Amino acid sequence: MSEIWEMGAVEIARRIRSRELSSREAVEAHLRRIEAVNPKLNAVTQLFGEEAVAAAEAADRALKAGQAVGPLCGVPITVKEDVAVGGSATTRGLVARRNAIATRDAPYIAELRAAGAIPVGRTNMPEFGMRWHTDNALHGATRNPWAADLTPGGSSGGEAAALAAGMTPLGLGSDGAGSLRWPAQCCGVAALKPSHGRVPVVSGDLPPGPIPFAFQLLGVHGPMARRIADLRLAFRHMCSSAGGDPWHVSAPFEGRSPDAPFRVALISDSGSKPHPALAGALTTAARLLAEAGYIIEEREAPFLVRSTEIYTQIMDTFSRTTAERQPLPPGLVSPAFERFWAGFTPHWQEAAGERTHDPMMERATIARAWSDMMEDTPLLLAPISSQPAWKVGADLEPEWGAGWMKALRTVVAVNLLGLPAVAVPVAVTEGVPQAVQIIGPRFREDLCLTAAEAIELRLPRITPINPRLGAAG
């Protein structure tokens, strides 16, 4: 039998229900794994050891008494530090928020608890979630389990690293510009970026704080795991309660199956030539989908360049809580973040392209064009970033940002249009994992998950791994 920390959420839940494994054993195995490997990676930032063991014991008593338990009974989970877990700090990577204790769970954390999941810890993220590498002045840097000299990604880099190293079978994070999918690519795990409005994005503070329009429109929360089945299980227990989110939409988990043959558009050219390893991953994924019966057609995504520009304009203009752009208070962020943002800002402004008076009008035009494309090819197979995980510190160099928004075009288009996407690892090239994303029509996460699982089932499992603290290659 596999070590408990090597199992996925579905397997753990099944073994607990069949009494092959106790909830306490599952929780304690992951707490021991965190104790063993987290000092090498710095992915888990807060532990709920006593509380988690107590919750596991309560679950075991309920099972023994023959009481009804949820489908995630006894499954340990970890939660990124920008998602509210009642009684713990929602720091968003900031020293100034180290004591910002949430008064209640985010709605979907409460829903996952009700289904039986047990939070065992919080995971690291960059300051504000506004960097594609995980580091901050509060907790320090998270290391990639595959190679210490490579970024684990960001902003859900702590979750991705914890999953890849077996510290958790299931993680919860957020995605405003690839923050679930990019770390999944860097660390070789899976992630689901849900449709806009599917999972409520609500603060755990009372009274709740303001959420700028850009984050309401472009940001979502979703699950990360090592197996697609685990994403599906978690997702089914994250969507029911709106919790005050005005964008929340109750939609069925499965929709009508598109007419056969099922076509997938391969978006291989995003305006940034894919690195050979990523090009190879796309080719492999296309071949595996074809073996599963999908018809692959190479196509161009409409308005891909303009999608990036409109995304950037909305985020640049509507991501603040004040009318005027306010300077960061001295000492709020780390010197590394200041250096990153100073170097990236000119490239960010350039990525906005020609300004429009009404970005939502153009967004609607782009959305219609993508909808028309998906009438013929309901799914898109595309890169996440067209570049693999880069060396730690690369994003602190001024020239780094010149091509980064181009590399992320298919990522930010998905955020702009509110579409679902699943990141699935495909290969390990020169010791580094590579992943692709499956993009679907709005509220058709089921189609994305099924296609991603068709790829996954034809590949060997690559995680969890013991941390490899040498250099890549």
Any idea which residues carry the catalytic annotation?
A: 80, 155, 179
Q: What is the longest distance spanned by two Cα atoms in the chain?
A: 65
Q: What is the 3-state secondary structure (H, E, C) of the chain?
A: CCCHHHCCHHHHHHHHHCCCCCHHHHHHHHHHHHHHHHHHHCCEEEECHHHHHHHHHHHHHHHHCCCCCCCCCCCEEEEECCCCCCCCECCCCCHHHCCCECCCCCHHHHHHHHCCCEEEEEECCCHHHCCCCCCCCCCCCCCCCCCCCECCCCCCHHHHHHHHCCCCCEEEEEECCCCCHHHHHHHCCEEEECCCCCCCCCCCCCCCCCCCHHHHHHCEEEEEECCHHHHHHHHCCCCCCCCCCCCCCCCCCCCCCCCCCCEEEECCCCCCCCCHHHHHHHHHHHHHHHHCCCEEEECCCCCHHHHHHHHHHHHHHHCCCCCCCCCCCCCCCCHHHHHHHHHHHHHHHHHCCCCCCCHHHHHHHHHHHHHHHHHHCCEEEEECCCCCCCECCHHHCHHHHHCHHHHCHHHHHHHHHCCCEEEEEEEEECCEEEEEEEECCCCCHHHHHHHHHHHHCCCCCCCCCCCCCCCCC
